[in-house]
Amino acid sequence: MANTVWKAKRRNLAPWLFLAPGLIMFIVYVIIPIFQSMWISFYDWDGLGEKTWLGLANYVELLDDDAFYTSLKNNVIWLVLYMLALPAGLFIAIFLNQSIRGMRLYKSLFFFPFVISQVVVGLMFSWFYAPNFGLFYNLIESFTGQGIAILADDRFVTYGIIVAGLWPQIAYVMILYLTGLNNVAPDQIEAARLDGAKGWKMLWYVVLPQLRPATFIAVVVTVIGALRSFDLVSVMTDGGPYGSSRVLSFYMYEQALSEYGYRMGYGAAIAVVLFAIMMVFISGFIWKMWRDERGR
Amino acid sequence: MFPRPIEQTSPASQWLYKIAVPVALVVWLLPLLGVALTSIRPATDLAQGNYFGIPSAIALENYVQIFTESPIAGYMLNSFKVTVPTVIGAVALSCMTGFALAIYGFRLNLIVFFMFVAGNFVPFQILMVPVRDLTLKMGMYNSWTGLAMFHIAFQTGFCTLFMRNFIKALPYELIEAARVEGVTEWQIFWHVVLPLMRPAIAALSVLIFTFIWNDYFWATVLTTSAESQPITAGLSSLNGQWIAQWHLVSAGSILAALPPVLMFFLMQRHFIAGLTLGAVK
C-alpha cells in the first residue's frame, strides 16, 4: 500500500523534474524579461544609473514621434507585402512538383536562400542595388534611361529591402507547400479529373483545401517574419536614408542601444507596442492550437 | 498528383519544362551567383568596371586575403563556440521538457506547453533590455557563453513544441508496458523514449545550428568586440571597413554562408522534416 502511494507521488513529481531545467531557463530568459520590459517602459533609464519613474510619459512621447509613425507604417507595408510570399511560394512549389531527373537537387537549390543568413542576403542585395554598377540599377537605367539608387531613395528603400526579405521567405513557403503537395490525396485529384476539373478550378476547389495546414503554418511564419524584420534593415540601410526605412524592431534598437542614446525606457515602450501587435497574431495562433488539442 | 505529371504531356512541353526549370533556378539564384562570382574576381576587374561580367581570372587570393588581413577566422571560430553548445543544450533540455509534456497528464500541462509555444514567437526587442542587463550582471556580456546561454533558453521554446509533438505520436503502449515492468520514469525516458527520438534530434540539431549560426540581432546586442563576435556581426562590421571592396565582402559572405549550407546538404531530409513539422497533418 505504502509502496503504491509512493509510486503515484513519484509519478506526479516526475514531469516537473523533467521540466525543471528547460522551464527555469525559459522563464528566466524569456518570460520574466517580457514583464521586466513592460516595467522598464515606465522609466527613464540609460541602462546603468538610477531609473526615474515617468509613468506613461514614454508612451505619450511616442504618440508625438514622427519616427515612430514612420516605423509603424513601414511595419504595415512589410506585413502586407510579405504576404506575397504565399502565392509566390505556392507557384514555385507547383512548378517544381514533378518527378523529372535531378528534381530533388533542384528543389533543394531553390530552397537555398532560406539557409543563408539574412546578413549575407542583405549584403547580396545591396550589391545588386548599388548605384552606378549594380545589376538592378543598370537594368532600370537601360529601360528608363535613368538608374535608381533604391537604398538611397526614401520613396523606394523599404520596398527594396522587402524584396530582399521575400527572397528567403518565398523559399520557406515553397518548401512548406512542396511537403503539403506530397500529401495531397491522389484519389481525390483523380476523381476531380474524371469530373473534368483542371487548372485553376482544380487548384482552388480540390488542392488548396487540402493544403490548409501548410497554408496556416506559412501564414504564421510569414507574419512573424515580417514583424521581426531587423537584420535586413540594419545591414542594408541602418534605417536610412533619414530614418525612412526604420521598422519598429529597428527603431527600438536604435533608441535603446545605439549612438543616438541609451534610452532603455523609451526603447522598451516601443518594444511593448511591437509585442502588443505581435500578441494579436500569437493569440490567434495559440487559440487555434488550443482547439486542435482539445479536439483530439 | 497535382499538377498533372509532366510525363503525360506532349514531348514538346516536356522539353520546355526541362529547360524552364534550370533557367528559373539561375534567375532565382542570381544574387547568390553574382556574389559567388565576385568572390573570385580579381580586384583589378572591379577597378575597370567589370562588376557583373566574367572574371578575367580566378582570384582565390581574395579568400587568402580575408583570412590574413581580417579577423574572419576568429569570427568563424566564435560562431562555432556559440552554435555547438546551443545545439547540444537546447536539444538536451527540450528532450526532457518534450517528454514531460507528451507523456504526463498533469493539470498545468497545456498551459506550460502553450507558454513555450507563445514565448517562442515574441519579438526579440521585448527581451532585449532585460536580457542584456542579466547577461551583464552575470559577467557574461561580450562572451560566447552569454550568447549561448540566451540561445539555449530561447530555442528550448521551439524545440519543446517539436519534441512534444514528436513524442506524442509515439505509441503510448511502450511506456505503459515499461511501467508494468516496474521501470523508473527516468529509465523509461532514457532507455525507451530517447532511442526513438533520434530522427527528431537530428532534425532539430541541423535546424538550430542554422538558426543560431545565422543569428545577427543577439550577436549585436550581447557582443561588441572581435574577440567574441560571431561571423554575422563580424561580417557586418567588416562591410563597413571594406568600402567598395566588393570582392572581399563577397568572399566573406560566401564563407559565412558555407557552414549552414553544408549542414543543410548533408542533412537535407532531417532539415526539411524539422521545418515542415505540423504543415502536413
pLDDT digit string, tens, across residues B161-189: 999 999 999 999 999 999 898 889 999 99
Q: Which residues of B touch A100 (CB under 8 A)?
A: 6, 17-18, 21
Give the count of alpha carbons within 13 A of B87, CB side only.
19
Note the pLDDT of residue B278: 59
Domain boundary residue, one of B65, B90, B105: B65
Residue at B156: amino acid letter: T
Handedness of CA A228, A234, A235, A241 (dihedral sign): positive
A166 — pLDDT class (breaks 50, 70, 90): very high
Confidence of residue B46 (pLDDT cuts 50, 70, 90): confident
- How far away is chain A from the Cα of B274, in angstroms, using its nearest Cα? 11
The pLDDT of residue A249 is above 90: yes
Q: How far is B130 from B172, CA to CA, in rounded Å? A: 41
Q: Which of B106, B115, B126, B242 to mutate to test the interface with A (most CBs of A within 10 A)?
A: B126
Answer whether A202 sits within 8 Å of B106, measured CB to CB.
no
Question: Does the distance separating the beta carbons of A268 and B129 come in below 8 Å?
Answer: yes
Domains of chain A: 65-295 (1.10.3720.10)
Task: Give the CA distances from residue B162 to residues B63, B144, B153, B208, in Å, rounded to whole numbers and listed in that order.
Answer: 39, 26, 15, 12
Considering B65, B82, B113, which residue would you say is the last residue of a domain? Answer: B65
B108–chain A Cβ distance below 8 A for any pair: no
Cβ-based contacts of A47 with chain B (< 8 Å): 129, 132-133
Parent domain of B54: 6-65
Asked whether residue B120 falls in the same domain as residue B171, the answer is yes
B93 interfacial to chain A (CB closer than 8 Å): yes
Nearest Cα neighbor of B254 from B66, B128, B91, B81 is: B66
pTM: 0.93
Q: Who contacts A86 (Cβ-Cβ below 8 Å, separation ≥6)? A: A173, A215, A218, A219, A222
Q: Which cell is A285 given? A: 495562433
Cβ distance of B276 and A124 shorter than 8 Å:
no
Q: Are residues B160 and B51 in the same domain?
A: no
Q: How many residues does chain B have?
A: 281
Q: From B33, which residue of chain A is nearest by alpha-carbon distance?
A: A124
Quick check: B100 and A15 CB within 8 A? yes
Indicate whether B281 belongs to any domain: no
Note whether B46 and B107 are same-domain residues: no
Residue B215 grid coordinates: 543569428
Rounded to a whole number, what is the distance in Å from the CA of B260 to chain A's nearest CA?
Answer: 6
Q: Is A118 on the interface with B (CB under 8 A)?
A: yes
In terms of domains, do B214 and B259 share one?
yes
Mean pLDDT across chain B, nearest whole number? 91
pLDDT tens track for A61-92: 999 999 999 999 999 999 999 999 999 999 99
Position B1 in a domain: no
Residues B52, B188 within the same domain: no
Residue A44 in grid coordinates: 527613464
Q: Can you tell me the distance from the alpha carbon of B210 to that of B275, in angstroms, rounded to the nearest whole number?
A: 11
Residue B119 sits at the chain A interface (C-beta within 8 Å): yes
- Is the Cβ pair B38, A127 closer than 8 Å? yes
Q: Under an 8 A CB cutoff, do B239 and A123 touch? A: yes
Q: Which of B35, B114, B131 sits opposite A286 (nearest CB)?
A: B114
What's the CATH code of the domain at B249?
Answer: 1.10.3720.10
* % of chain B at pLDDT higher than 70: 99
Q: Between A and B, how many residue pairs show a Cβ–Cβ distance under 8 A?
A: 294
What proportions of chain A, in percent to the nearest 5, are helix, strand and coil? 75, 0, 20
Residue of B18, B153, B235 lying closest to A30 (CB–CB): B153
Measured between beta carbons, the chain B residues lying within 8 angstroms of A15 are 100-101, 103-104, 106, 109
User: CB-based contacts of B246: which residues, under 8 Å, 6+ apart?
Assistant: A127, B38, B46, B51
Average confidence (pLDDT) over A240-260:
91
**Rounded CA separation A176/B276 (Å):** 6
Is the same domain home to B86 and B47? no
Same domain (yes/no): B55, B153 = no
Task: Give the distance from residue A45's alpha carbon to the nearest chain B alpha carbon, in angstroms.
Answer: 11
The Cα–Cα gap between A147 and A131 comes to 7
Q: B 50-79 residues with CB below 8 A of A?
A: 51-52
Q: What share of chain A has pLDDT > 70, as a percent? A: 98
Quick one: B38 and B134 in the same domain? no
Do B59 and B78 sit in the same domain of this protein? Answer: no
Question: What is the end-to-end Cα distance of chain A in Å, rounded?
Answer: 35
Instruction: Classify the C-alpha dihedral A206-A222-A103-B18 as positive or negative.
Output: positive
Q: Give dist(CA A26, CA B157) in Å, integer.
A: 7
Q: Which three cell numbers stand for residue B263?
A: 549542414
Please answer whether residues B1 and A186 qualify as being in contact, where contact means their C-beta atoms are separated by less than 8 angstroms.
Answer: yes
Average pLDDT value for chain A? 92
The question of ipTM being above 0.90 is answered as yes
DSSP code, position B6:
G
How close B169 gets to chain A, by Cα (Å)? 12
A213 contact partners, CB below 8 Å, separation of at least 6: A180, B278, B279, B280, B281
| C-alpha cell read off for A279 | 500578441
Number of domains making up chain B: 2
Q: Which residue of A has its CA nearest to B109?
A: A15
Work out the pLDDT band at A131, boundaries 50, 70, 90.
confident
Contact B171, B127 (CB under 8 A): no
- Helix, coil or strand: residue B269: helix
Same domain, yes or no, for B102 and B142?
A: yes
Phi, psi of A49 (to 5 degrees): -80, -155
Q: What is the pLDDT, as a whole number, of residue B275?
A: 82
Strands (E), chain B: none
Percent of chain A with pLDDT over 90: 71
